[in-house]
Amino acid sequence: MANTSPFNHRSSADDVLRNQNLSGQVIIVTGANTGIGFETARSLAAAGATVIATCRSTEKAAATQKRLMLANPASTVETAVMDLSSLASVSDFCNGLAHSKIDVIICNAGIVAPKYGETKEGFEQTVGVCHVGHFLLVKKLMPRLLSAPAPRVVMVSSESHRVPPRLNFDALPYPESQFRPMKSYGQAKLCNALMAMELQRRFADQGLTACYVHPGTMVTTDIGRDSAIVRFAMWLVSPFTKTASQGAATSVFCATWDDRSELGGNYFSHCARAKPSVETANVGVAGRLWELSERWLKEKGYSGN
C-alpha cells in the first residue's frame, strides 16, 4: 500500500496546512461548532479558504462565527444553520447557498445516540444524521461540486465501520426492536465509507475525488452529546488520545493533498492510507445503498436534485 504522506498520528491540522495557500477554494464543513469540526474549519480558514461552517442552530452558528473570527481575524468564514436530522433543513441550506462553486465538502458531523430516536422524517437518528442527511447534502450540491476544477468529498467515517462487518439492509435504518447504540453507529459509519466508494465510482470521470477517514479514537468532540456515558468515557481517555486538531488532521489532509490519485476511493487514518473492512470494496452493496438512499429521499419528497 503506497503512502507518500509525510504526516502521522502526531500531526495537527496546522502541520498539514503549513505553507499552503487555499485562497479561492470554497469548503463546507458540517458539524463545525465543536471538536474536530471546529478545528477543521479553523485551520482551513487560516490557510486562506472560504469556509462555510454549518451548525445545528442559530445560537451555535453565531458562537462558532465569533470563535472562528477570533482565531483568525483575517479569514473568510461563513456560518450557516443546517440540522442534519432534518431533510428540510439540509434542503434549505443548499437552496440558500450563494456560492455557485464548491471545491470540497467535509461530511464531519455525527452522533452516537444512546437510545432509539428518530429524525424529523422518521429515520433512526444515528443513521439519519450520519448518512441520510449527508447524502442529501452531497446530492443537492453535486452540480456545484462538479463545476469546481478539482472537487472533493471527504466522509468522516470511523474504525467503527468494521462492526458489524456487513451492512444489514434488513435493519437499515435500525428499527426500534433491534436497536443497539454501537451497532447503529457502526452501520452509519459503514454507510459513510460506502457512500465515498460509490461517489468515486459514479463521478470520478467527471473530476470528483471521494475518500473516507478515521479521525482517531475517542477524540474530544460533541458526538456523544446525548449520552452521559459516552461523554464520560471520552473525558476519561482524553489525556491518552489525539487533540481535536490532531483529530482534524486526516480530514484536512484528504481535503488538500496534491496527489488526488492516491486519495480517490481510499480509506485514511493518521494522514495515511489504511486498510478498510472487506465490505467497503463490495460494489454491489455500495450501489444498493445508494439506490436505497435515493428511494428514501424520494419517499420523503426530496429528490436530491
Question: Which residues participate in catalysis according to the annotation?
Answer: 185
d(CA 237, CA 219): 9
Strands (E), the chain: 26-29, 50-55, 76-81, 104-107, 152-156, 209-214, 267-269, 272-274
Q: Which helix (H) or strand (E) holds 62?
A: helix 58-71
Residue 106 DSSP SS3: strand
In Å, the largest CA–CA distance within the chain is: 52
d(CA 7, CA 250): 9
Q: Which residues of 210-231 are buried (b: 16+ CB within 10 A; e: fewer)?
A: bbbbbbbebbbbbbbebbeebe
